[in-house]
Amino acid sequence: MTRIELRPAQIADMRAALESRERTIIELMLQQPDYPPLPPCPECSAEVERMDSMLEPPQFGVYDSVLLINMKPCGHRFRGAVDIDQPS
């Protein structure tokens, strides 16, 4: 399946949503299964149960890193350039 290209703004939104979810978990000392939901899939808006993300290996002369994201259970796969200087 081809990966869907995400715009930088979409990546930024998703990371912001994940960070605020993380903060909520820490502040309220939540335990699974009380974790807040993950951000919905940007493609089909399905509820996401699991999100796997990894960075593509850096290439010489390329300053942007590419983030690969796999959503489950809908199975959509995304890629998008990220600024590696930003905290992940």
Q: Which residue stretch of 13-21, 23-31, 52-60, 66-74 sits at the interface with Zn ion (rule: CB under 5 A)?
A: 66-74
Q: Are 38 and 48 in contact (CB under 8 A)?
A: yes
Is residue 76 at the binding interface for Zn ion, with CB under 5 A as the rule? yes
Cα–Cα distance measured from residue 35 to residue 48, given in angstroms and rounded to the nearest whole number: 13
Binds Zn ion (CB under 5 A): choice among 16, 44, 55, 84: 44
Is residue 41 at the binding interface for Zn ion, with CB under 5 A as the rule? yes
Q: Are 60 and 46 in contact (CB under 8 A)?
A: no
Is residue 40 at the binding interface for Zn ion, with CB under 5 A as the rule? no
Cα–Cα distance measured from residue 65 to residue 79, given in angstroms and rounded to the nearest whole number: 10
Is residue 3 at the binding interface for Zn ion, with CB under 5 A as the rule? no
Q: Which residues bind Zn ion (CB under 5 A)?
A: 41, 43-44, 46, 74, 76
